[in-house]
Amino acid sequence: MHKPLALAICLATVGLAFAQSNLPAGGPDAILGVWVTPNGEGYVEIRKSGDAYDGIIVGGADETPRLDEKNPDPALRDRPLLGLKIMNGFVYDADTRWNSGRIYDPNSGKTYKSKLELKDADTLDVRGFVGIPLFGRTETFTRRNPQ
């Protein structure tokens, strides 16, 4: 009777250790670096700004300069996207999550509440939403220079 229980505990412990070994290294700065957007067209560098994290467009697959043509403010439609801060205010929440941020989508001109979750060292889920996370969409960014 004790052997099956001991075996189950042993297997559960091994399974938990294996599952945790696949998690990315935690810590607030784990998301720092350059990330490629899902369509592969844009490169966003996530930087630390005080206790928060921001994302700036630092390049793209196509080097053709683009403007912020979809911005709801007509006065901003002629500014270049290169160097534009599109992610701001993300605060580290747990091992693989950053919350309380906002993300600007230059393809639509809309800004959304957002949260980030590191799936592994080179995969970042970016969820933009209106109101609550349930009403949103997740896109997966990949690290430009994998670790």
Tokens standing for 103?
């993300």
Query: What DSSP string runs through 49-108?
Result: ETTEEEEEEEEESS-S--B-TT-SSGGGTTSBSTT-EEEEEEEEEETTEEEEEEEEETTT
- pLDDT tens column, 87-128: 999 999 988 999 999 999 999 999 999 999 999 999 999 999
Residue 58 included in any domain: yes
pTM summary value? 0.81
Which residues constitute the domain of residue 114? 24-143
Residue 66 included in any domain: yes
Residue 48 included in any domain: yes
The 10 Å Cβ neighbour count of residue 59 is: 15
Q: With H, G, I as helix, E, B as strand and everything else as coil, classify residue 7.
A: helix
- CATH value at residue 35: 2.40.128.520
Q: Tally the domains of the chain.
A: 1
- pLDDT tens column, 11-39: 344 343 444 444 455 799 999 999 999 99
Residue 13 included in any domain: no
Confidence of residue 147 (pLDDT cuts 50, 70, 90): low
Residue 30 included in any domain: yes
Task: Decide the pairing of beta strands 33-36 and 123-129.
Answer: unpaired
